[in-house]
Amino acid sequence: MLTPAATTDLDSRLREAADRFDHAVTTARRDAAVQVVEELLDSGVEAMTVMTDVIAAAQRHVGARWQRGEWSVAQEHAATSVSVAALEAVARKAATGAPHRGHVVVACAEHEWHAMPASIVAAGLRAEGWEVTLLGASTPTARLSRYLRDLGPDVTAVSCSVAAGLPTSRAFIEASTSAGIPVLAGGAAFGTDDRRATALGATAWAADVRSAVETVASLPMVVHEAAPLPAEITLEQVALRHAGHALVDAVAFRWQNRHEALGPVADEDEADLLHETVEQVYHAVVGALITGDGRLVAETAAWVESVLAVRGMPSSAVRDLGRSMAAELDDFPLAASMWQRHWPSAGVGSCPS
């Protein structure tokens, strides 16, 4: 156990290293980033600490910069490639020889393109002696059963950062548990507790990479097939999926027509942002429906408000988006009820056609 003085020294070194790493990421200097993590490892800092306190922390800053309108998507991608190189360096140094524990398949849900969290979990598991097969971003759900049959893992770990991946996470869970394989779920879309993971039938939920590694070791060897979702929820989810594109277009049209809130669209980038915002909101509705967790709707509203605010749009745009969505959910009573209860002022006033 570290003494208080040693802990203070480690904290200080980690803060200094995290600042240098963040600078390397923001300036897209791959060699500098790799040097930071290798210096930490050479000085005796645990690989898990480097991954969570330095690399993962920097990636959170990357996402926050885009959300604040400070960075473009291209800058995000350049920064992430630097973090990937650093993570690979950590994984190489942390390798402990041949795997001596079970086999874990780590995959991103279909429609989930943020592969970094899954990569960090995979590296953490390998460092602890697990054999890991990382399937990468947006693993096709239809192929997962074949992967599981061919690979025969002891555990499936599904990573999901965006609400669009929650329905396909459920498909992963069905595929895995029908083969008796336990499923660990994690990622920002699952929220800050196990409610959504449990609702979707996952065997366990993990808040971060450290708890993911600890939890995998405690999972049962065999599990029962996940119970079906309630029929009324499944029927409405299917209906929402079929209506998806038309519903998103209709909401975007209603919302954009409220010129007093949004003003004219400045350029193609802004048009794409507004349409993508509506898509995110639609996915939040579906995710909240199948998990029974209306907090996802409220969280998405807060995210939308922050994204729009830094781009000069008024807070009333969030209310207007809520009204526009509410007007399109008449045929989906469960989703509409969830929406009315959790989106700010969704049901106040009327929405012009």
The pTM of the full predicted model, rounded to 2 decimals, is: 0.86
Q: Which amino acid is at 33?
A: A
- pLDDT for the residue 332: 96
Q: Which amino acid is at 190?
A: F
Q: Which element (helix H / strand E) includes 157?
A: strand 155-159
- Lowest-confidence range among 57-71, 283-297, 329-343? 57-71
Task: Decide: residue 109, CB within 10 A, 0-12 exposed, 13-18 middle, 19+ buried.
Answer: buried
Q: Which residue is listed with tokens 């989930």?
A: 112
Q: Strand 183-186: give its sheet, edge to edge.
A: 131-136, 103-108, 155-159, 183-186, 204-206
Residues 318, 301 contacting (CB under 8 angstroms): yes
Q: Which CA distances in Å does 148 have to 174, 178, 181, 201, 223?
A: 12, 11, 9, 18, 15
Residues 52, 59 contacting (CB under 8 angstroms): no
Say how many Å lie between the first and final Cα of the chain, rounded: 65
Phi, psi of 96 (to 5 degrees): -115, 30
* Average pLDDT of every residue of the chain: 89
What is the number of other CB atoms lying within 10 angstroms of the CB of residue 155? Answer: 25
**Proportion of the chain above pLDDT 70, given as a percent:** 92
DSSP assignment letter at 189: G
Q: 312-324: per-residue pLDDT in tens? A: 777 888 888 999 9
